[in-house]
A and B are shown apart, each in its own frame.
Chain A
């Protein structure tokens, strides 16, 4: 029996007075491709940001590979995790952001190389080769020494994916990665994700508004509504068999 690589146990998250997530229970298995869909403000992004340690849950636990992410044991008690504990677990997780967040003061090759070299202390030449290979794979082999400001949005987002991939995460998070792109650039980014979904054995969690794409590549689809997972299952189950009225309305609005 395969064990989940990530488990959410009754996770709540509030921002001030507003409770965005009201009890999330979710298992992510190694290699699984999950799409998270739902209306804006439903807390989709917050789910993956907590796993990336960018937001701390208000209550509940998240386990990565059986280890509690936000809590650690100290003198026989579970206390709030410190940075060292977070760093240890975080090395399994990678993320691609809506606004790319490339480092503007580095070339795109340096963007890819900096973390493996400085964080994982890997051999520079090996990292260089791997980075070049990865940038070629996302179709940017001829731009290695360009700066991010010289690239289009779609190209930037592909660099961001290469940068995350070079770290070899076990779980890769995609936070609305096409939302900030001009419509004509969305396709090239989705192609890369489709390629990754097909050929990589890491788990992937996609928060997205590209409904048809999500339903197409995902093993499991989560429909998030009003802070809970209102519906989940395979794409087929979710689309065809669910009688959740809000989901049906949502799908009608977003599918082409």
Chain B
């Protein structure tokens, strides 16, 4: 088998057709996971021991099962369960499957952010008589969220790289398109290489961006950074 540029240029536009699905799926899954993550974090804070135990166990279960198995279950097995079974499109199955899987990690990230806020901040907020909602909104979240933004960004990239799993249930992303091209023309080398290149081109710059973000967040309220910013005339 030899590298053939003709096939490469023929396959490129074909594979690229799947990019919309790949990116769209990544973004949708991610937003879903971000939202669901809040839900986990909130559930774990409910002050009931059996409930807390149940939620922790459920998260653990979801995390220790491969996302591919979950995806297959949602796509193939769930419709067969009498009464509650629903047939979902490949796209919806992928959003649900990957979204739920990653939401457990995202929920942990939120939790680490919240726990990183000093206990004294809660006490000061209580002493100033903030309501529970105001405490979260004005005091805790503004301190809990920025430090975990880079971590959340990392999960975006990780998710982007997991999204090709959805091709196994027929979501027509770039991997699916490459496979289809390969099957039709009996040429896999070039289209799969294209898939690799596209992933590299998208995730590498994102990773660099997140590194930068991380540095910025870490020094946010640092004495010197504030000084620098004020000299530049920037408003924090």
Query: Assuming the A-B contacts A103-B124, A103-B139, A105-B143, are A115 and B129 also in contact, with contact meaning beta carbons closer than 8 angstroms in the complex?
Result: yes
Cβ B128 vs Cβ A119 within 8 A: yes
CB nearest to B139 among chain A residues:
A103
Looking at the assembled complex, report how far the CB atom of B8 sits from the nearest CB atom of chain A, in whole angstroms.
51
Cβ A164 vs Cβ B127 within 8 A: yes
Give chain A residues whose Cβ lies under 8 Å from the Cβ of B130: 115, 118-119
Instruction: Indicate which residue in A52, A99, A118 contacts B127 across the interface (CB closer than 8 Å).
Output: A52
Cβ B124 vs Cβ A97 within 8 A: yes
Cβ B126 vs Cβ A101 within 8 A: no
Looking at the assembled complex, report how far the CB atom of B141 sits from the nearest CB atom of chain A, in whole angstroms.
10
Cβ A101 vs Cβ B143 within 8 A: no
Give chain B residues whose Cβ lies under 8 Å from the Cβ of A54: 123, 126-127
Instruction: Indicate which residue in A91, A149, A164 contacts B221 across the interface (CB closer than 8 Å).
Output: A149
- Tell me the chain A residues, 96-122 only, with Cβ under 8 Å from chain B: 97, 99-105, 114-115, 118-119
Looking at the assembled complex, report how far the CB atom of A164 sits from the nearest CB atom of chain B, in whole angstroms.
7
Mask, A127-165, CB within 8 Å of B = 1, is: 000000000000000000011111000000000000110
Give chain B residues whose Cβ lies under 8 Å from the Cβ of A52: 123, 126-127
Q: Give CA–CA (A83, B130) in the complex, Å.
A: 11
Q: Give CA–CA (A95, B124) in the complex, Å.
A: 8
Give chain A residues whose Cβ lies under 8 Å from the Cβ of B129: 87, 90-91, 115, 119, 167
Give chain B residues whose Cβ lies under 8 Å from the Cβ of A103: 121, 124, 139, 143
- Tell me the chain B residues, 74-126 only, with Cβ under 8 Å from chain A: 118, 120-121, 123-124, 126
Chain B residues in the interface with A (C-beta under 8 A):
118, 120-121, 123-124, 126-132, 134, 138-139, 142-143, 221-223, 226-227
